[in-house]
Amino acid sequence: MRWLALFLVLAVGCNNAPTPSPNSTKQTPAEAFKAYAAKKLGVTPEQLTGGRLPETQAAAYTVGRLWPYAFHTSVGGDREVTGWAMPDGRVVSADENLGLLFDEARIWGPGPTPIVDHWVLAALVMWSTGDKRMMGSDEDNLPGPSLDRQRDGSGQLVFTTSPNASGADLVTNTVTLRPNHTATLARVPR
């Protein structure tokens, strides 16, 4: 009887199967992001082209377990949706599950210091919004991105972008970080 009890303890204790996230989907990352992009653009998934970024481009947008995606449509003009998907199918973008980007960058810890700095985080969020230019260089005469974090995990990432390469039509972006590892983006035209 002791052997049976020991076996049961070991069998239960050694079960290393990953526990699915409560927010996970039954879709593959590509299916999940394509469905998100179709909904955001108001088209059917069949009207989209694109997918996971090619390896030559992906390195600049990959953070932790986040896989970068871009889907395009020409319905109603040339439009694009960019962002990420987790291996479990959760979509991450400027307007959905944004806290996961900061989690994967280790902004809240634990352990090693963040794997990217605030300039890179701002550029990643900018990419997900579709804006084309990060402001903050000497020629812009504007401050660059700033990240303020408190000990409880709250904070803000503030940066200025432009939807066009010329730098006209400025937008102030504020990502509000919360201790529960969530984040939201507010965008205000200047």
Is beta strand 171-177 parallel, antiparallel or unpaired with respect to 155-162? Answer: antiparallel
What are the structural domain ranges in the chain? 24-93, 118-190
Tokens of 179: 């201790």
Q: Residues 102-156: pLDDT tens digits? A: 999 998 876 667 888 999 999 999 999 999 999 998 778 889 999 999 888 899 9
175, burial (CB in 10 Å: exposed 0-12, middle 13-18, buried 19+): buried
Place of tokens 């871009």: 70
Confidence band, pLDDT 50/70/90 cuts, at residue 69? very high
The CA distance from 75 to 177, in Å, is: 35
Weakest-pLDDT range from 31-45, 108-122, 153-167: 108-122
How far is C-alpha 97 from the geometric centre of its chain's CA atoms? 7
pTM: 0.83
Q: Quick check: 3 pLDDT over 70?
A: no
Q: Residues 83-95: pLDDT tens digits? A: 999 999 999 999 9
